[in-house]
Structure 1
């Protein structure tokens, strides 16, 4: 038992001896005593109201010499003894410091004193290029009705397309539309129609758009006396759900429409970058009629390019808080406008961000 205790004591003594030797020959803690040279004016700063000429804590000598007063702000020359080997002399001598104070300006947004100073902004976004094509086949059975002959008609179409986007890659879409109409004619014509369209795209999901319409016309001596109509359509997307429900009404030359939007995408107010879009397309369609049956086939090709306008270089005059009045009638002017607690604008979120114009402060 005693032998084990002696071994532990020897081990602890050897360990402490090694630590002691390391601190002597490799004083690692000394390396962290200083962080390198610093500005002597900041290190030697002393307040003006020092009356004790001896530091009560370290015993170092210190002395202040008042020089002058600038609008109530005193400037003093002070001396602090205990200069170390790493200390540097200021512009008034080693250990001496002339404290003249500092003016700090805090900026948030545009400086207050800007009055039409030009701000040059460069922005680059890779142009968005989309190239695609579609093949379409249409069929219509007894679809044409005259003003005084009733009848029924069926129609449908099938569309297949492929497109390539340099942002999202290659995609495809396929769609089908079907509809029917029925009309009765006497002194006028009553026409009712039903239809549905389905479009499935790798980019936007599946869109379903059913629609219905009803119209009536009254004629006398081949002249239209009354013409009224009503139509409605519904929009649904597999990714965003129910989108729109619209109604259109017409009477003679008057038309009214209304719509209800669902699952509206949130609006995030922000500074918009102007873009330019270029679009070009061509189409070919060939068809014919045989015994009340009309059929056609065709193709469409298109290319669209979207890029930042003006080559991404924008020049806007800036107006600060002091001169905001000068830029109120300039469309391209930038003002010191900040929106706090910004959030998306949707009907379910009643909290709106509020604008704020900050006044800058200049402090000593």
Structure 2
């Protein structure tokens, strides 16, 4: 038992501040019988190597991009192309072969002088410019695939609005994705649903350590399936409501400066639940209301990740259901892992001690995150 406790405590203390915000670039995809084009709405800050390295750097504003000199614009285009060519590759794949496509890169906003940069998704005024990657479609049968480099590379969300489809599929680091087939068909509705399902799941595992710790904290007060599933569903209901309100613009977009406060509150919810475990012997009715409210708070962080992707899809209902279903499956995965891992100790006399130590460890990590983010707010 001591070894288990030491491992748990060491793991929690070595977890870095969670990657609650997943980097993502949006891509408008179109194709015909002879060619394809992927137009990327490129975050100007990602064109700067020093800004990519600095995770605390603020995303530049559109006015900053407009005020750059011609020489600086040239360097931005150069670095953006270099980055994209390193980030992903396109292949034409048949049953017997796969061929790398040497695609062309074009920056349409620089077709005018001075350049007219695209407006941001929201009124927060962030700096974006468009990058068009295009290439041929061979006459032979096959499929166009995109392969994203593994590592610290953003997700690429491909939308098909230009060819009359509201579907969105996402290519993740280290994986490949079929974008188009020789039969001139976009991804199916099922593929789009599974893509959002996967995106929601990744918001918990492996990207959302804060989400994981919140669910883990729930497990150490009511160590059985039924109450844990109830709490998980109530938590999902809370952040589903917030996400829906954000997507529909019922609540305004949250500025990055304010998001730091939201992330601090998310850490505080982890601390609260973990500490409650230390002073409460059994699950009480008020905890369900608390979890629902905390779900609303976590949903604000979720909205900052997935909100723009769902808006870009042109359809709200299916992506909202699929993404939150993915989150719920991720939460159930965490619950299952903890229940199975500690099942052997469930009937032991020292099991409550394990729960107290685990809860205290989670509270310590949450406190560290809360202080870290609070410092960032000041």
TM bracket (short chain): under 0.3
Q: What TM-score, normalized by structure 1, do the two folds share? A: 0.21
Q: What TM-score, normalized by structure 2, do the two folds share? A: 0.21
Q: Which structure is higher in helix share?
A: 2
Of structures 1 and 2, the one scoring higher in RCO (CA 8 A, sep 6+) is 2
Q: Which structure is higher in strand share?
A: 1
Bigger CA radius of gyration = 1
